[in-house]
């Protein structure tokens, strides 16, 4: 064989080996899908984590589906699961876990990979709400608490100290009234030109009532076995009346004005607002010049602090469980995106707090004037056990509307609503 023919032969052999090697590598890579709803900061955070995961796990490729709008997310999951398609790892609101388990979308986290003792010592206590029927079904990267936002410019214009937000419920009423500006033609809701403190039950106020005000007035939301509604107690009536008075008695604002209460604060039309740390990104993107501060929620009549904690969490689906390699990849991916390091990465993009106790105790985070009040609240935050978060939220929205729109007494509205929610609970537990 001539030298040229030998060279061609050698190169051909190398090409065949290279192609074979590439084919082997491609066959050796398992592809899994991760789904979450469309929300800017969360998408960027997960893209970053997926890139880190794939670099450390070259045998796994993660397809990130974040195109689904929040309002359609549950329906799309429901449509995909029976067809055997959809995500292998899915992000869901923790309050959806019972419904997702009932529907067969999720599988329990493997005990050998996610021991209960490890989950309960590594994560914030509120993550215990991911345990249902004595099994853990998901774990989160981050958690949320509520805080009080205030507009410093409006405080100064009203003659209030812009660095001193309300610290008690009494101060909250006084300042909300002082900060409300009317148009000069009356003091009804429709005369409001600047809102002092507008209620928004469709936002975070139903959580503020159930887990914060109610406890500060001495009540509890549910029985210990989670089967009975308790928030229509005399203490609940006091708390709900305190809350509804902002619109019906003090007339400091309404969710019907300026699109809604959240938009009113973000656009500089409301002075005080209660929201989660996830709102920080909205303000940063839509009104970066807003001069505002963040504080822990005011203490109640009993001098106690309480807060509502919530989280979006990640579960493994039955699709992944149906294939050994997919399940292995899903487990590795879930472990990676729920480390303390992942929690701190998530904070940078979303403003949500790390779910891991180690990361949440970060001194720099606690000293942050905006994130610090949220982080400090983790120690006294409660996560509600929801059997159907959407329906249970609507119950309190309807009760509040009956007060402000139909003139129903707050205690009566609360009792009527409790009957509706009790039916939801009874139906849920009857099916278990």
| Lowest-pLDDT choice from 96-105, 227-236, 314-323, 420-429 | 96-105
With the CA atoms of 16, 18, 19 and 21 taken in that order, what torsion angle do they form, in degrees rounded to the nearest 10? 120
What was the pLDDT predicted at 321? 95
- Tens digits of residue pLDDT in 215-229: 999 999 999 999 999
- Tens digits of residue pLDDT in 73-90: 888 888 887 777 899 999
What was the pLDDT predicted at 120? 93
By three-state DSSP, how is residue 143 classified? strand
Q: How far apart are CA 138 and CA 142, in angstroms?
A: 12
Q: Residue range 280-300: average pLDDT?
A: 93
| More reliable by pLDDT, 406 or 282 | 406
In the structure, what pLDDT confidence band is assigned to residue 117 with cuts at 50, 70 and 90? very high
Query: Residues near 363 by Cβ (< 8 Å), separated by ≥ 6?
Result: none
What was the pLDDT predicted at 3? 54
What was the pLDDT predicted at 422? 98
Query: Two tokens at 174?
Result: 């006084």
CA-nearest of 204, 183, 206 to 195 is: 183
What was the pLDDT predicted at 125? 87
Q: How far apart are CA 398 and CA 332, in angstroms?
A: 43
pLDDT > 90 in the chain, percent = 75
- Tens digits of residue pLDDT in 120-171: 999 988 899 899 999 999 999 999 999 999 999 999 999 999 999 999 999 9
Taking residue 158's Cβ as centre, other Cβ atoms within 10 Å add up to 18
390 Cα distance to chain centroid: 13
Q: Residue range 197-206: average pLDDT?
A: 96
Does the pLDDT of residue 292 top 90, yes or no? yes
What was the pLDDT predicted at 24? 47
| More reliable by pLDDT, 98 or 231 | 231
Q: Global pTM?
A: 0.79
Q: How far apart are CA 415 and CA 232, in angstroms?
A: 6
Q: How far apart are CA 338 and CA 356, in angstroms?
A: 8
Does the pLDDT of residue 245 top 50, yes or no? yes
């Amino acid at each position: 064989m001539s030298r040229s023919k030998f060279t061609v032969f050698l190169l051909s052999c190398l090409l065949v080996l290279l192609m074979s090697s590439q084919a082997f590598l491609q066959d050796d890579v398992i592809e899994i899908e991760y789904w979450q709803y469309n929300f800017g900061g969360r998408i960027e955070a997960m893209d970053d984590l997926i890139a880190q995961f794939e670099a450390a796990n070259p045998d796994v490729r993660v397809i990130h589906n974040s195109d689904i709008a929040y309002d359609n997310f549950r329906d799309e999951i429901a449509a995909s699961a029976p067809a055997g398609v959809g995500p292998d790892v899915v992000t869901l609101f923790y309050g959806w876990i019972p419904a997702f388990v009932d529907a067969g979308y999720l599988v329990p986290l493997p005990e050998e990979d996610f021991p209960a003792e490890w989950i309960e010592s590594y994560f914030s206590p509120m993550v215990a709400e991911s345990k249902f029927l004595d099994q853990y079904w998901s774990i989160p990267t981050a958690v949320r608490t509520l805080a009080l936002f205030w507009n410093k410019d409006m405080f100064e214009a009203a003659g209030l100290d812009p660095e001193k937000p309300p610290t008690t419920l009494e101060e909250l009423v006084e300042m909300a009234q002082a900060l409300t500006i009317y148009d000069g033609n009356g003091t009804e809701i429709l005369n409001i030109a600047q809102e002092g403190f507008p209620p928004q039950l469709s936002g975070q106020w139903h959580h503020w009532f159930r887990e914060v005000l109610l406890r500060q007035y001495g009540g509890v939301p549910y029985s210990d076995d989670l089967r009975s509604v308790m928030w229509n107690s005399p203490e609940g009536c006091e708390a709900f009346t305190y809350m509804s008075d902002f619109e019906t008695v003090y007339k400091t604002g309404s969710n019907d004005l300026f699109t809604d209460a959240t938009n009113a604060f973000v656009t500089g039309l409301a002075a005080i607002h209660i929201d989660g740390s996830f709102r920080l990104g909205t303000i940063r993107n839509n009104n970066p010049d807003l001069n505002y501060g963040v504080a822990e929620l005011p203490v109640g009549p009993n001098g106690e602090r309480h807060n509502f904690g919530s989280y979006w969490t990640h579960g493994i689906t039955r699709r992944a469980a149906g294939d050994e390699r997919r399940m292995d990849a899903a487990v590795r991916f879930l472990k990676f995106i729920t480390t303390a390091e992942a929690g701190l990465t998530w904070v940078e993009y979303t403003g949500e707090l790390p779910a891991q106790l180690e990361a949440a105790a970060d001194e720099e985070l606690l000293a942050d004037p905006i994130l610090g009040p949220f982080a400090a609240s983790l120690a006294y935050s409660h996560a509600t056990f929801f059997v159907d978060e959407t329906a249970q939220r609507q119950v309190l929205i309807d009760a509040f509307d009956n007060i402000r729109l139909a003139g129903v007494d707050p205690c009566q509205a609360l009792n009527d609503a409790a009957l509706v929610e009790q039916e939801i609970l009874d139906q849920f537990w009857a099916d278990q």
